[in-house]
């Protein structure tokens, strides 16, 4: 991920630092934070319409993801290789009884 997005590593470090500072490390481990950050860079989750270009932009996208993604309603699919289409995601959601995912 860092090879494609130069701000990813620093943004992930910021997110991990924020999680630790808020004593949430027992709930969100480093691997989870890294996957959530990958989601902000690949699926534009967290309200970010474009790929974050700066570490601060990536961190804000991470916070937006935590605040606004409906985790209780549908799983967050992290497509690290960016190979899934929206149609494939919709099909997976339908198979698991989640409607269109929206």
Domain-located, residue 3: no
- Give pLDDT, residue 66: 93
| pTM listed for this prediction | 0.78
- Give pLDDT, residue 4: 72
Domain-located, residue 2: no
- Give pLDDT, residue 85: 80
- Give pLDDT, residue 50: 77
Domain-located, residue 63: yes
Instruction: Domain of residue 21: give its range.
Output: 8-95
Number of domains in the chain: 1
Tokens representing 56 are: 């601060």
Q: How many other C-beta atoms lie within 10 A of the C-beta of residue 43?
A: 19
Residues near 67 by Cβ (< 8 Å), separated by ≥ 6?
46
Q: Chain-wide mean pLDDT for the chain?
A: 84
Quote the distance between the C-alpha of residue 99 and its chain's center: 21
Domain-located, residue 101: no
């Amino acid at each position: 991920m860092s090879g494609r997005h130069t701000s990813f590593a620093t943004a992930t470090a910021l997110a991990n630092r924020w999680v630790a500072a808020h004593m949430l490390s027992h709930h969100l481990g480093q691997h989870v934070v890294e996957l959530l950050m990958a989601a902000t860079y690949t699926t534009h989750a967290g309200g970010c319409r474009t790929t974050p270009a700066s570490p601060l932009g990536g961190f804000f996208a991470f916070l937006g993801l935590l605040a606004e993604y409906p985790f209780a309603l549908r799983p967050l699919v992290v497509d690290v290789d960016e190979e899934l289409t929206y149609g494939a995601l919709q099909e997976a959601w339908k198979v698991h009884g989640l409607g269109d995912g929206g």
